[in-house]
Amino acid sequence: MTATIKDVAREAKVSVASVSRALNGGGGVTPATAQRIREAAARLRYVPHSAARSLITRRTHTIGALLPDLHGEFFSELIRGIDLEARSHGLHLLVSSSHDGEEDAAAALRAMQGRVDGVVLLSSPHVDAAFLKANLPDGLPIVLLNSDVKNGADAVLNIDNFAGTYAMVRHLVDIGHQRIAFVGGPKDNYDARQREAGFRAAMAKFLPGEPVRVLAGDFGESSGYVAARELLAMKSRPQAVFAANDTMAVGCLQAFKEAGLAVPGDIAVAGFDDIPIARYVTPSLSTVRVRIAELGKNAMELLADLMDRPGLSAASVHTLGCDIVVRESCGAHRGGATITTTKKIRRTSNR
């Protein structure tokens, strides 16, 4: 059916070994014969059988991306970043998305066994060190995204949630706000916890005397709405609300609109993520932007690095900075200024 290396060898009147050498560039072949071989291969439309090659080289030239049940921009940008970088390394991308629950993720991870040379795994709450130990074939390079597992064995790449919230609080303080409330995210969510920690640290630093107001939320729009209504009922109403994600911030805007409050006139609002909607709501939402495609790209770079040097200890922690995007809702709109908290990736090897 399709041409094999033997056909090319016959066509070029050499042995299969020479064909392999000529096509893989290993050297040990005369320029003249190499040329003849390439021509023969082209004539027969020969393309190496990747399974046969993998069988002996033990490399698939494929990396796997294991993602939880994600939607929209985050998903697409992440894949885009990973894919682009993977391609530039000559690697293919095997995607397994929409995993809900530990069982599901474990099955997907096992199914990738032997089909990939490395894995980028975006954590869900149940993906912890024990999970990895149980389901990860050892020796398989892996990069963990947004994970709090520190098992001293794997490479971890995180969004700098802490620095992002910290910088946003600093900005809010800079433009004159003092009574700042925070709407948190799910308790089992790593990002949410980090963001809250950043908020608390910044408050302690910039407004030491001020009481710290943290409301519960779950990243959903309605939880932002509910939190906003709680704020409205407070005796001394905050001057600004900082929601742990944009979706909740949109919920806040809705509640304030209904209550007849002007944003940012009566109360300022800020979010986190810079989802596409952020620039379309009225007033447009000030937020913290995560460069997601860059996150994917960096993860892939990290993974490629790990794959290059087998045996090397992978243990390291990296963080990717965020940008503060100033729009209308925080009360300091000056034409869409963007403040970068961290330009470059920061490596924190833990050994």
| Residues found near DNA in the complex (CB under 7 A) | 4-6, 13-21, 23-24, 26-30, 32-34, 46-49, 52-53, 55-57
Footprint (CB under 8 A) of its own copies, residues 146-185? none
- Neighbouring residues of 63: CB distance < 8 A, sequence distance ≥ 6: 82, 86, 91, 92, 93, 94, 116, 117, 118, 119, 120, 300, 303, 307
Which of its own copies, DNA, none does residue 29 bind (CB under 5 to 8 Å by kind)?
Answer: DNA
Query: In the 8-state DSSP scheme, what is residue 199?
Result: H
Q: How far is the CB of 139 from DNA (least distance, A)?
A: 13
Which residues in 245-304 contact its own copies (CB under 8 A)? 250, 276-277, 280-282
Which of its own copies, DNA, none is residue 249 near (CB under 5 to 8 Å by kind)? none
The reply to whether omega before 264 is within 30° of 0 (cis) is: yes
Q: The tokens of 115 are what?
A: 């089909």
Among 20, 33, 44, 73, binds its own copies (CB under 8 A): 73
- End-to-end CA distance of the chain: give it in Å, rounded: 54
Interacting residue with its own copies among 13, 15, 35, 72 (CB under 8 A): 72
Given a contact cutoff of 8 angstroms between Cβ atoms, the answer to whether 231 and 263 are in contact is: no
**Smallest distance from the beta carbon of 74 to its own copies, in angstroms?**
8
- Sign, CA dihedral 260-278-319-148, equals positive
DSSP string, 299-314: HHHHHHHHHHSTTS--
Alpha-carbon gap, residue 287 to 43, rounded angstroms: 57
Extract the tokens encoding 136: 């990860």
Q: How far is the CB of 172 from DNA (least distance, A)?
A: 58
Cα separation, 75 vs 55, in Å, equals 32
Q: Of residues 10, 38, 89, 92, which one binds its own copies by CB under 8 A?
A: 92
- The yes or no reply on residue 38 touching its own copies (CB under 8 A) is no
Whose Cβ is closer to its own copies: residue 144's or residue 293's?
A: 293
Per-position x/- string for 93-112, each x denoting binding to its own copies as judged by CB under 8 A, each - no binding = xxxxxx-----------xxx
User: Least separation, in Å, of the C-beta of 138 and DNA?
Assistant: 16
Question: Which spans of this chain sit near its own copies (rule: CB under 8 A)?
Answer: 1-2, 47-52, 54-55, 60, 62, 70-73, 75-77, 79-80, 83-84, 87, 92-98, 110-115, 137, 139, 250, 276-277, 280-282
